[in-house]
Structure 1
Amino acid sequence: MNAKYILALVLALQVSMSLCEIPAPSQELQAKYDSMKSTFIKRLENAYKKLQDAVSASEQGQVAKELVDSVQAVAKVAAGLGSEAAPIVDQARSSLLGLYEQYLRPHVGESLSTGIDHIKVYLDEVMPAE
């Protein structure tokens, strides 16, 4: 009876150890992610520039300008904190991309890609990257 418990414990430990090995994402998936990330950042930068232009052109520009300046100060602080945590964030991102590619991409990859392509059409109208 004790041998059965030991065998079950060994098998459970092997399964848990195999789950700890996180695969690295492929270069293709990493490149696709980096492309989407850079495009999204460009969209945000362009939207921010348009917001600044609209604020400077409006009559109530002073109040809005103060709001934009405070948002910009918060963004600088967040960027400073983000630069210190960059290695941890990169490792976590790589792990999540590897898990996604190994376990989820075969099942939801095509529909997710199609959904992102449909969303890009609307984002190009509302928040263009150029």
Structure 2
Amino acid sequence: MSVADYQNQKPFVYTGQTLERALRSLICSPFMLSLFDAMRQDRVAISEITGTKGVENGYTKRPLSELITDNELVWLIQVGVLRREVDGQGITDSFRLTPLGRQLVEESLTKPWRQPTFLDIFYEVVTRYLRLPF
């Protein structure tokens, strides 16, 4: 069996369009950077994000229902920023960052995310709900 050399792994290279779409989805989401920073360290269960617990943990801007939270997290999975945590018995209710999400969150530690502009919100709505390839 071969041994993986994790120190010399080459990072994924993403196109500028992919990075911009993913960043736009993150900044337009109802979640705070602290949620993604926590996901960078470990998995986060949906129960820690929903309702007033999400606000108390500093993960959401306002209390969110489980359905809205799940829909928002699934969108971030489709964009390629998150993945569902899997254990020995199947898919769990926890989430982690993908390499793309990890890259964006780590960059945010030195350069904070911008506030979403009207154009960001417009493109996010068009991309998400009309599924046009922008």
Which bin holds the TM-score, normalised by the shorter protein? under 0.3
Greater per-residue strand proportion = 2
Give TM-score scaled by structure 1 length: 0.24
Greater per-residue helix proportion = 1
User: Which structure has the greater CA radius of gyration?
Assistant: 1
Structure with higher RCO (Cα < 8 A, 6+ apart): 1
